Amino acid sequence: MKKIIYIPLLLLLLSCNKGKRSYEDKVSIEELKTELISKFGKDAYYTKLSITNKDYGSFVSVSQTDEPSSLKMTDWNYSKGSWKQTSDVTLELFQGAKAVDFMFQLDKIVDFDLIGKVVEESKKKIIEEKGISEVRVENIIIKAPNDGNFNNMKYYITISPKSGGTDFEFWYKIDGTLDHFDY
């Protein structure tokens, strides 16, 4: 009889842990890329990708479209294994501008392998230089530049001690070069 009770309890615990997924390392960031491609397709365009990691898991927010010339985008949130559309967005551009010039595609402009690498480098820097043994990636933010100049685009990463305390902020250039570090 006890075994019958333990099996459903174990299944419940395992299913609950799925929602606690955090995107904090190279492997999990690649898994997020796979999830994005599964949901929106490999040719989707984005203006924003934001990842927030908390104790309850990750919260992902994206603005995306399949047709940049339509000037129509949708905002989506992903948490605990499910997607929810939060809004429709209509872009307004200045005369002569093309929407595609203000958007990025996965692994065409935004390199997920590189993001995973700089996340790992950021964590290592805090662990080694600040002597903090356990850190958490609080945020990863990727936004297309408002001026359309992708040479000025940055990856923004916030790392903090798991026990709480000071946030460490990293800005990386699109090529993975550390641009700025602050705390």
Residue 64 falls inside a structural domain: yes
Q: pTM, whole model, 2 decimals?
A: 0.83
pLDDT digits (tens, 9 = 90+) for 144-165: 988 888 888 999 999 999 888 8
Residue 2 falls inside a structural domain: no
How many residues are recorded in the chain?
183
pLDDT digits (tens, 9 = 90+) for 161-179: 988 888 999 999 999 999 9
Across 71-90, b (16+ Cβ under 10 Å) vs e yields eebebbebbeeebeeeeeee
Residue 15 falls inside a structural domain: no
- Domain count of the chain? 1
Residue 7 falls inside a structural domain: no
Query: What is residue 57's predicted lDDT score, i.e. its pLDDT?
Result: 87
Residue 68 DSSP one-character state: G
Query: What is residue 124's predicted lDDT score, i.e. its pLDDT?
Result: 94
Distance CA 82, CA 60 (A): 10
Domain that holds residue 89: 21-182
Helix, coil or strand: residue 93: coil
Higher pLDDT, 133 or 75: 75
Query: What is residue 136's predicted lDDT score, i.e. its pLDDT?
Result: 94
Residue 10 falls inside a structural domain: no
Query: What is residue 72's predicted lDDT score, i.e. its pLDDT?
Result: 94
Residue 11 falls inside a structural domain: no
